[in-house]
Amino acid sequence: MKRTLLYSILSVLILLSCNQVNKLEQNENQSMGKNVDDTLVQSGYSEVNGIKMFFEIYGKGKPLVLIHGGGSTIQSNFGQVIKMFAQNRKVIAMELQAHGRTNDRDKDSSFEQDADDVVTLLKNLNVDKADFFGFSNGGTTTLQIAIRHPEIVDKMILGSALYKRNGVPAQFWDFMKQANLSNMPQELKDAYLDVTPDPKGLQIMHDRDAKRMVDFKDIPDGQIKAIKAKTLIIIADKDVVSPEHAIEMHRNIAGSELAIIPGVHGEYIGEITTLKSNSRQQDFVVPMIKQFLDPPKASQ
């Protein structure tokens, strides 16, 4: 039976297998400056479908794969929550094509390609089953993983994920057609340059993400309804993606759960552009996610 969790205080809803080890460049406890903590187990690069994909692994336990959104790095999206998840999970995070420390393949980005890249990385890391948490564009990538590679998905969390163009205001698409690097949030530009001090690469990342959104096509309802993975959908009540869109997705994924959190896009995980709010919503959202992933056993 579908369960809906509504957290809202506002009435206005707006806006490698062994034979692949030679492909894996591993750096145990690689220094990452201020972002390193004692839960970082491994970091490095893996040969993935023609690119060298950067990844980090934190903690121990059942794998939880974190997939960042557009214009982001691992830390700019998930830096506030990785350690919380790594308390009881093996957290695997990566940077997608042209993002952060992962190079570009001189080809337009697509959610389908990102999905295939993530799955190839996991195979290189000898992971054949995992839970997934994708945020924003990473949520759409997670949907494509569930559609294209259902065998690898156990549970998934879709954070502010989009699967239909009408899930965002019409003016969003006009904005994307005119997207310019100068309009990109400074926090995201700084986060990229902090790990890859290459202005040309920053421009490439921006342009890849903008074009992908301009070219965005709806995912057919039939593909969404065919998803069997146990799913938690999270959205903010003032998100870019509308609550109505999240509700439609919730109804189309059988057995899914829905949480609507007060705040703006990414605030519920402490995404870097929201830190000035000091809301610390992740302090109650992460435990909710952890309970969804590992529900307490019923007493006998």
Q: 147 and 223 in contact (C-beta within 8 Å)?
A: yes
Convert the pLDDT of each residue in 125-147 to its tens digit.
999 999 999 999 999 999 999 99
**Which domains, and CATH codes, for the chain?**
3-293 (3.40.50.1820)
Instruction: Give the integer Cα–Cα distance in Å for 58 and 61.
Output: 10
Convert the pLDDT of each residue in 149-205 to its tens digit.
999 999 999 999 999 999 999 999 999 999 999 999 999 999 999 999 999 999 999
Instruction: Give the integer Cα–Cα distance in Å for 189 and 187.
Output: 6
Instruction: Give the integer Cα–Cα distance in Å for 132 and 251.
Output: 20
- B/e letters for 251-271, b = 16+ CB within 10 Å, e = fewer, are ebbeebbbbbbebbbbbbbbb
Going by the DSSP 8-state scheme, the letter that residue 290 receives in this structure is H
Q: 13 and 263 in contact (C-beta within 8 Å)?
A: no
When pLDDT is averaged across residues 289-293 and rounded to a whole number, the result is 98
